[in-house]
Each structure stands twice: as structure tokens, then as C-alpha cells.
A and B are shown apart, each in its own frame.
Chain A
Amino acid sequence: MTKRLWTTSVLAVVVAMLFVACQATNPSPSPSAPAASEAPPASEAPPASEAPGSAAPPASGALPEVPTGYTELDTALGPDKPYTGKRVTIQTQWIEGEGANFDAAVAPLEEATGIDVVQESIASQHEVVLRTRISGKTPPDLAMLAQPSAVVEYGSRGETTNVATFMDPAKLGSDFSAGFGTALLSGDNGEIWGIPYKVDVKSTIWYPIKAFEAAGYAVPTTWDELKALSAKIVADGNGSPWCLGILDGAATGWIATDWLEDVMLRTAGIDAYNRWITHDLKFDSPEVRAALAVLAEQWFTDGYVNGGYQSITATDRLESWDPMFQPEPGCWMHRQATWLGPDFFPDVRAGGPGTQSQYVLGEDIGIMYFPQIDAAQGTPGLGAGDTLMVLVDNPDRPEIRAVAEYLATPFGLKAWIDIGSAQSANQTTPAEWYQSYKQQIAADIVGNSTSFGFDASDLMPPEANRAFWDGITAWIDSGGTGTDQFVQSVDAAWPQ
């Protein structure tokens, strides 16, 4: 027994010493590893850091010019690269292609400053993971979030940083438009809780160009033309005008609320729209009911939606537009934001990531503007976007501010824009950066918009947003007969 005990304790001592040794070596890798990570860039670094001084033009292509208007970013881009080897973590909801695009967007900053920006991509439940980390007081340094209302909530709890404390609020105010700007992210006392980053234009309808040409259909530019087109498609026996499926698991409903928001902007106007967001205009109001009536006509008329209106809430959102790709389309129009694209074409989805689609955007599949309804309300645009939150801010880690400031400039998204699929929230972004078919359509919509509304449901309090999603889903299932129930349920769910 004694012998065994001894053996055990000797073994334990060895194990313990091993642990202690490892613990002791722990601090050492931190300095040594950055040194190692320094090494590869170091060889490339001289030309990169020389660039701002000696050869300004190539540098200006990928990086903002100093002075950038932001303190820490200027310091970071300074010749002595003071933040070399510092690591900044950012949690995003972008995976695979989108995640790689974001990495590409921050690469120029990493190269020029030596800051290591580590993206922590959370595939599903990004918001839940973020909430857990923030509640547990171990947040990532930065995070992207699609719901401004949640950003403001984190701000009011003191869990995210007021960026106005280190960034010029006036500059932020003018860099970002009223549609997706600091006003949506402000606290009660002028705090700015987040920085707009990337926008999606939502007022877009996808359609099969060649099938439209073959059938002799013209792209409608007014609502009357759209109504005529819907009627004609049905009369021609060419299937249904709309490809519409809103099933999206726990988030079911948002596609329908987007529709209603687009219509609200066109029938009630931006002022009523903004009052609607703050509940100064009730759901139970003539404006909302009128907008619902517009929807009801397109959604509930027999034959207008592929599979009938009962299929809307039971059809997966990503599969819903598949019939559009048939040689003789089963449905002809699919209203969805600009984030949609070749990655979501049926042949790519079937083939998996990396598959090359047989359809070409701009040749086979086109994008049109969701038409004007009431000329008095002009040609509004609807959009949504991602907001950057600065979750860790302390004097020892100025590099976090530098990264946030970089992402606030158009250059923070440039590489992603160059890929052809992103739109910056920053309105100082040069128009010539947008080269792809999709970007130009989106830029046109933004440019031609007489008013621009941000996704209302993302700005409403979360309870109201959820009631809105659930309510409109139930309303669709009722075939439009449950209007009273729908509008009253959302009004009732609004937090007091």
C-alpha cells in the first residue's frame, strides 16, 4: 500500500511539475508568438510601411490616407507601427465565403499596422453566443450585429462602448446617411453605441431575364404596371407571378415584414414610416391597414403565389425561388435583398460551395427595383445593415479603437466591395468602387431614392419585432382575414 502510494505521489509530482512548467512557459509564448507572427510580415513590411511616405498612390488604393480623421488609426498607420503584434478579436455572423471576404477587407490594415485582426465566425446563433459572452464579461473586442435595437440595448446596459468618446461624432454623422446612420444607434444622451458598416438594399425584385424576354414581359416601373404584369402572367397560364416562401426556422416572418415595410414606405411615406417604428403610429391604423391591403392583393389572389398562399409560410425561403430557374418559370418574381446572389442559385446550393453556377447574374437572372406605388411618396429605398460594436475599450489596448476606426472608413470594406457583392454604409465611398451588376443596381436605387428607410422590424423593440414576425405569419395563414387580430397583437406586445 505504502509503495503504491509512493509511486502515485511520485507520478503526481512529475505531472504537477509538468503543469507548473507549462504554466510558467505560458507567459513566454505570448511575446514569442507575436514575434513569430511578426516575422512573415516583417519581410514584406518595409515596402508596405514605406508606401505612405514614398509611394503614396498605391497605398491610397487600399488604405485611408493619414490623417484619416481618427486618432488611433493615424497612430496605428504611423511609420513606427506601434501596434505591431497586437491582437484584436471580432465576432461576426459571416462564415465561409462571407467570412473570407471580411478577412480580405481587414488584410490591408493588418499588413500596414501589424495588428492581427482575428475573426471569430459564429455560424449559427451568433446573437446568442454574443449575448452569453457579453453577460459573462468575456466579450470579443469587437462584434458585428444586424439589429440596431439590440446595439442600443447593449449600450443602455453599459455593455458596449460609446464610440463618440473617441471618434468625432460630427464626422460619423456626416459619413453615414440618415437611412443607416448614427441616429439609429444613439442613446438618450447623445451616445453613439455602434458604427454602421455594411448595408443591404432590400427594395429589389429578382427575375429571370431571358424568360421575361421570351414571354414579352416588360420590367414594371410602377405598381399599376406590376399589377398588370401579375394579372397577365396568370391569364397567360404561365404559372404564378410570385416566388414567395418565408419559412426560416425561428426567424420565420422577416421576409413578410420586409415586404410590408417596403409597401409602407411607398404608400404612407417616410415620416409615417418613422413614426411607425417608434409606435407613434399604431399597427392598428389606416396606414398599416392600407399597406396590408396592397400586399393582400398580390399574395392572396388565386394563382398569384406559387403553390397558393398556404404555401408561403410552409416553404423554405431559400428554396422558394427555385421554380424561377426552370426554362418555363413556375413563378416569375422574387422580392429579396441584395445579399441574395449566385451563392443561393439552386445549382450552386445543390452542388455545394465552390460550384460554378450555369446562370449569370445580369444575363440570366436580373434585379429590378420594387416599383413606386404612390407618386406622392417618390421612389423610396429600404435597407438594412450590420453595425460594429466596440465591446472592449481600455487605455491599454488602443489598437481596438484603431481597428474600429478603420472599419468606419470606406476602406474597411473595400476588398469586399471589390469582390462585387458588398455595399458600404459609408456614403463617402467612391461611386467607382461599385463595378458589379448587383452593386450598380443597388447604388442606383440608393442614388435615386427620394427617401431611405431602415428595416423597421430591426429597429422596433425585440418583443414588438417578434410579435410583428409572428403576427404577419398568422395573417398570411389566415389568407388575409385575420387583419384585426394581427395589428392588435403587435400593438399589445409593444413594451410599455
Chain B
Amino acid sequence: MAIQSRDHAEVSAVRRFAPVLAALVGLAVVAIGVMILADRNAATNLLSSIYEALGNTQGAVDLERGVGDQLQAKLLLGLVALIVGVGGIWMLYVGVSAVVGLASPTWQGRILPWVFVIPAVVLLAVFLVYPTIGTIITSFTAQTNGDPLANYKQLLTPQFIGIIGNNIIWLIVATGGSVLLGLGIAGLVDRVRREALAKTFIFLPMAISFIGASVIWRFMYEWNPPGQPQIGFVNAVWTALGFAPVRWVQDPPINTYALILIFIWLQTGFAMVVLSAAIKGVSIEVIEAARLDGASERQTFLRVIMPMIKGSIITVATTTAILVLKIFDIIYVMTGGRYGTDVVANRMFIEFYEFFNDGRAAALATVLFLAVVPIMFFNVRNLRRQGIGS
């Protein structure tokens, strides 16, 4: 009996300390992992010391010098990131929650939410809030010559108004185009026999990055002098129809729309998939009721289905709108902002990297941020109204 109780005491001591230990170990793993990830050469050094230990001196030297194939070092870094990111964080959470478990139930209830929220809050603060505030401060302080608003005043020149105007064209045409097209296709494929196949083809471009798509479309839009064979697909078709070849990428204003078409090609699939799912969610009884009341197909779609999937349409539209406002890749690859196609995000990049105008780049970033915030706000409110966010 006495022995048994001593066992009990031991077990409970173990119970008491195990979580603390686990928490500490988790913390150590995360800390060491972060140290390795933060040091540019840590993974390389680690791997080269392993090579050294294995007797592969040449491999170790090559790694240290940064020559040759660094694939293994990169893989090791990835592995460390995985261990730290998944394993370390998991252990930390488990450990800390176990530690909290030692406290009285009332305190548990008070502490536990914070334990789980704080890491995310810290990460957000470090990587999102701090840079945002820093950027806003920079926009009022860098290269201003004493006038805090100097960088913003420069944005009111015709050149920048043109750039912002392009963003507005993008916002309207690209968002509208991809959402309307997606909606239309979603409504139509609902009644074809090979629905999955049709949807797959339209969704397929989603798998391509904006950069990749732009490179593809550069070939599509290629222009050759009249009379020579047209290598670009668009001009090949265009000249076959009897028109003169058009410089789709170089000639404004058609070029902005040509670039928007790339976006629509990429993004319609997303709108279609989400809206198609929403349409399928509309119960058949409602549609049948509408039909019995004598509504035509068009009326059914516009007056019954559309209002019922309004929430989804708003979600798709706002998500797309945010993507459009931030558009950079297509412009950067296709024109570099030339020929009157420049947009805010690309300009920000140019101002910072090419012109060394930190202040103006920060001002552009701030403008973009301010433009995105209301849409995000709207999006979140819409989600909450649908009961997703609350």
C-alpha cells in the first residue's frame, strides 16, 4: 500500500513535470531552428560539417564557397524549416497547453485562449503591422524636402493619375470580366452533359502562375511586320481574317485590355468554380417553383438563382478585386509598365528599385493599401453575414 502510494506520487510528479519539460524542449527547438533559419549560412555550414565528418572535404569546401550545386543545402534548410515550423510549434503548443492544464480550471479558461493567440499575434505584428507602419512613416518622411506631403503631391501629377486610372480600368474590366464570365459559364455548364470536363478546361489556367501565363501570352501576342508570317497566334488569326497585324502589347489603349484579357483567362476558372458550387446549392424545389409560376429560364437565373447566390458573387468579386488592385506580374513581364500600361504596384517597384525613390514608393504602397482596405472590410463583413466569419 505504501509502495503503491509512492508510485502514485512518482507518477504524479512525472505528470507535473513532463509538460513543463516538453514546453521547454519545444521552445528550445523553435529557438534553435529560428537561429538556423535566420543565419544565411547556417544550413550550408551544418551540411558542410556533416560532409567534413564523412570525409568529403571537397564537397564541404565547395559548399562553403557557395559554388556548385547547393541543392542539398537548400533541401536541408527546407527540412529544418519543416521540423521547426510543424514539429517545434506543435510541441510548443502541446507543452504550453499542458502547463496551463496544471492551473485551476478558472485560470485555464482565462489563459488558454491567449496562449494560442499570442504567437499568431506576434507574427502578425512583426511581419505585417510593423512593416505597414514603417512604410506609412517612410511615405511621409523619406525624400520630402521638409514637406511631409511631398510624396503624395507628386502622385497628383498627370503621369501618376494615368497610372491610377489604369488601375481603375483594371478594377472594372478585369474584375467585371472574370466574375461575369465565370457566372455565365457556371450557369451554362450546369446543364451540359460533360460538365466536369468543361469546367476542368476553364479551370486549368488557374494552375499557371501570372508570370508563366504572361510569358505564354507574350508569344500569343507576338507581332511580325505585315507581309511576313505571323508567329503570334492572335495576329495569325487576325491577319487570316483579312486585317493588318496589330501590335497588341505596344499600342495603347488596346494593350491595357490585351493584358486584362490574360488576367481574365487566368481568373475566370476561379469565379466559375465558386459560383458553380453556389448554384448547385440552390435547392431544386425553389427553381421548380419558379418554373411552375411561369418564369422563363432567363428570369429563373436572374431573379431566383442570382439573388440566392449573391453572397458568393460578392465574395468572388471582392477577392478578385483585391487581386486586381495588387496586379503586378502581368504588367512587369509584358510591358514593364511601358506604352501607357503602368499600374500602381509596378510603379512602386520601379520607384524603389530603379529610381531610388523610397518615399514615393512608400506613398504608392500606402495608396494601394488604402484602396484595398475597404474592399477587404466589405469582404469580411459579407463573410460574417453569411455566417462564415462569426
Listed in ascending order, the chain A residues whose CB lies under 8 Å from chain B are 2, 5-6, 8-9, 12-13, 15-16, 19-20, 22-23, 25-26, 28-30, 32-34, 36-37, 39, 87, 89, 116, 118, 120, 127-128, 131, 138, 150, 153, 157, 249-252, 307-308, 310-311, 313-314, 461-463, 466, 470, 473-474, 477
Contacts and interface: CB of A to CB of B under 8 A. Distances in A.
A26 B42 contact: yes
Contacts of B26: 12
Given A9-B25, A29-B45, 14 more contacts: A2-B18, A5-B94, A9-B95, A15-B87, A16-B25, A26-B46, A33-B52, A33-B60, A33-B64, A37-B61, A131-B352, A250-B332, A314-B247, A470-B338
A474 B64 CA distance: 49
B377 interface: no
Contacts of B223: 314
Contacts of A32: 52
B19 to A, nearest CB: 7
B81 to A, nearest CB: 13
B390 interface: no
A247 to B, nearest CB: 9
Interface in B28-52: 28-29, 32-33, 35-36, 40, 42, 45-46, 48-49, 52
A451 to B, nearest CB: 29
Contact of A118 (B29, B66, B224, B353): B66
Contacts of B350: 466
B336 interface: yes
Contact of B22 (A8, A249, A474, A477): A8
Given A8-B91, A310-B247, A470-B338, A29 B48 contact: yes
A15 B86 CA distance: 14
Contacts of B48: 29, 33
B338 A473 contact: yes
A477 B250 contact: yes
B21 interface: yes
A127 B353 contact: yes
Contacts of A20: 32
> Which one of A5, A20, A89, A461 has the greatest number of beta carbons of chain B within 10 Å?
A5
Instruction: State the 8 A-B residue pairs at the shortest beta-carbon distance, nearest first.
Output: A250-B336, A307-B225, A12-B25, A19-B32, A9-B22, A311-B225, A462-B355, A33-B64
A307 B49 contact: no
A12 B18 CA distance: 12
B378 interface: no
Chain B, interface SS category: helix
22 contacts: A12-B29, A12-B91, A13-B25, A15-B29, A15-B87, A16-B32, A19-B32, A25-B49, A28-B49, A29-B45, A29-B64, A32-B52, A33-B52, A36-B52, A118-B66, A128-B353, A157-B356, A250-B332, A313-B250, A462-B355, A473-B339, A477-B251
A473 B33 CA distance: 51
A26 B25 CA distance: 21
Contacts of B333: 249
Contact of A252 (B95, B338, B355): B338
B43 to A, nearest CB: 10
Contacts of A310: 225, 247
B106 interface: no
B354 interface: yes
B66 A120 contact: yes
A311 B250 CA distance: 11
A120 B67 CA distance: 9
B59 to A, nearest CB: 10
B41 to A, nearest CB: 9
A249 B336 contact: yes
Given A19-B33, A26-B49, A36 B61 contact: yes
Contacts of A307: 224-225, 228
A301 B25 CA distance: 78
A120 B41 CA distance: 14
A118 B22 contact: no
Contacts of A461: 355
Residue from the set A22, A30, A150, A462 with the largest chain B CB neighbour count within 10 Å = A22
A20 B355 CA distance: 45
A490 to B, nearest CB: 13
